[in-house]
Amino acid sequence: MSDAVVLTWRQYRLERRMFWRNPSAAFFNFALPLLFLAAGGVILHGKQHDLNLLVPAIAGMSVMSTTFTALAYNIVFLRERGVLKRIRGTPLPTISYFGGVAANAVTNTAMQIAIITIAGKLLFGLGWPVDWAELVVFVVVGVVCFAALGVAFAHVIPNFESTAAYVNAIFLPVVFVSFYVFDSNSAPAFVRHIAEALPLKPLIDGLSGAMVTGAGLGANLSALAVIGLWGAFGVYFAIRGFSWEQSRD
């Protein structure tokens, strides 16, 4: 077990170095949410209530982008370039490899949440999160859920060239619907039902309770249950459909 832990740590350090050596990945993970915050801050200047909604919404989107989007891209790239097959042939334990990959995604998510929280405090006049325990719970459950869904979704992407189209076909509509329902009380009922059945809107609700309203974990148990169900679905299909080999077109 100790050897597996050491190898996981080494794989994690390798993943961190590879991440920082990819400027575009660093930009989309850290600079892009700040650009969204800045643009939203300009549009909503003087509307504190709307700014209070913007920060947890961007935080929820960041969780999805650093896990679902990033892992779907990375798994397909590594699979189609034969990297996963070569890793499978090395003495590196599978649990150590995926432990390092998962820890890297968790680190990116934690850094994004910290950046967004600090930016909300300094730029938009928000206080610090009201309920830190609720914030940690929803971030952890959200990371597990979207990471598992990202790995599972990678199984249906046939080649790396089509990854952007496949990922954006899921990411953009989910973000649009979730943001629309979260920010609008006049959203049609069927759209609201769709958003609440997807994992992003419940995640934003939980983050809003933790960062802004202080509603408490008990008030968002249904949202936590939705995220948990999606997470269980993602874990099952991530494991069941995983392949170390290139897909055959």
Can you give the pLDDT of all 249 residues of the chain as single tens digits?
A: 577 888 889 989 988 888 877 776 667 667 777 787 777 777 766 666 677 788 888 899 989 988 998 889 888 988 888 888 888 888 888 888 888 888 888 888 888 888 888 888 887 777 788 888 899 999 999 999 999 999 999 999 988 889 989 999 999 999 999 988 877 777 788 899 999 999 999 999 999 888 887 777 778 899 999 999 999 999 999 888 777 777 655
Cβ contact 224:217 at 8 Å: yes
119's tokens = 């930016």
Position 65: which residue type? S
Residue 138 has a pLDDT of 94
Residue 7 has a pLDDT of 87
Cβ contact 121:130 at 8 Å: no
Give the residue among 143, 140, 126, 125 at the shortest CA–CA distance from 208: 126
**What Cα–Cα distance (Å) separates residue 118 from each residue in 44, 50, 59, 178?**
18, 18, 12, 23
Q: Write the burial class of residue 128 (CB in 10 Å: 0-12 exposed, 13-18 middle, 19+ buried).
A: exposed
The DSSP code sequence of 152-187 is: HHHTT---GGGHHHHHHHHHHHHHHHHHHHHH-TT-
pTM listed for this prediction: 0.87
Residue 145 has a pLDDT of 95
Cβ contact 211:130 at 8 Å: yes
Residue 179 has a pLDDT of 85
Give the residue among 226, 184, 219 at the shortest CA–CA distance from 202: 226
Helix (H, G, I), strand (E, B) or coil at 242: coil
179's tokens = 């943001």
Q: ∠ at Cα 79 (75, 85), nearest 5°?
A: 125
Cβ contact 112:207 at 8 Å: no
